[in-house]
Amino acid sequence: MPRPKSPVRSEWLDPAVCSLDYRLKIIGRLPFFKHLPGDAIGWINSLFHDQDVEVGQTVYFEGDEADHLYLVALGKIKLVRNTEAGKEVLLDVLRGGEYFGSLPAFGRHVHTETAISLTAGCILWVSSEEFEKILSRYPDVTRKVLEAVSLRLEQSQDMVRQLSTYTVEQRVASVLLRLGEKLGETRGKELLIQLPLSRQDLAAMTGSTTETVSRVMSRFSEEGMVRTGRKWVTIMEPSALEELIKRGEVN
């Protein structure tokens, strides 16, 4: 069998990525702020700081004081929790336009997860005080933040449901579909996920082990449902994975 050719197109980092224009676009599209008029966005933008991150860089650790709110401008950020035993649990992968971190405003005083960049990219952040300024000038932003947190809660509860009732195979299929939907690019009827997702990461997302995930992925490949490389995964037949989740087995 020929080595799968990588469908990844390198879109190289524009050095001007966190340019004013780009920042305005990101901030203006954020659910928190997108209802606000342009001048408000401009003012909010002036309160944000930007920072480039490289692959594998830790933005903050679980347990660190929670006094910054972050936005992903470019790249992908993963949120993980660690157990005392050293196992890691991957809670979510964020793309441009999503928030992370937390604030005393959310009732949290320390971060409850660790944030690590999966790719090189750029993030924006505001301090607690600066965010308070935004909230006091535009109080309905609180409402938007509430909506965003509610959505995360719902997703987390769905995760609980899946971990409680799915087999590893179903969980892997589910994670692939979720990532595909969220981060994937449509290539015909296929779905390309450009992400340096290791078996380790997939295991941490499914409450499993690298070996088991590897076996499951091999099976999926044999069945022609997915195709994977080191920095990408292509879902050849999303519907087949969906079927598998419903039926609970490969046939």
Out of 153, 182, 189, 218, the only residue in the binding site for a copy of itself (CB under 8 A) is 153
Which x/- pattern over 93-112 shows residues binding a copy of itself (rule: CB under 8 A)?
Answer: ---------x--xxxx---x
Give me the least distance between CB of 209 and DNA, in Å please: 4
Q: How far is the CB of 202 from a copy of itself (least distance, A)?
A: 12
Q: By CB under 8 A, name the one of 28, 97, 196, 207 that touches a copy of itself.
A: 207
Q: How far is the CB of 32 from a copy of itself (least distance, A)?
A: 12
Distance between CA atoms of residues 36 and 39, nearest Å: 8
**What pairs with residue 52 in β-bridges?**
122
Contact 82, 89 (CB under 8 A): yes
Residue 85: CA atoms inside 13 Å, Cβ hemisphere, count?
Answer: 2
How many CB atoms are located within 10 Å of the residue 62 CB? 14
Name the minimum Å distance from CB 154 to a copy of itself.
5
Of the pair 77, 195, the CB lying nearest DNA is at 195
Cβ proximity to DNA: between 164 and 186 the closer is: 164
Site residues (CB under 7 A) for DNA?
A: 3, 167-169, 198-200, 207-212, 214-215, 217-218, 228-231
Instruction: Tell me if 218 contacts a copy of itself by CB under 8 A.
Output: no
Beta strand 77-82 pairing with 226-228: unpaired
Opening angle at CA 229, ends 238 and 159, nearest 5: 50
Cα 92 to Cα 106, 170, 184: the distances in Å are: 19, 18, 15
Q: Check if the beta carbon of residue 171 is closer than 8 Å to that of residue 208.
A: yes
Q: Considering the complex, what minimum distance in angstroms separates the CB of residue 109 from a copy of itself?
A: 11
- Told to check if 246 binds a copy of itself by CB under 8 A, we report yes
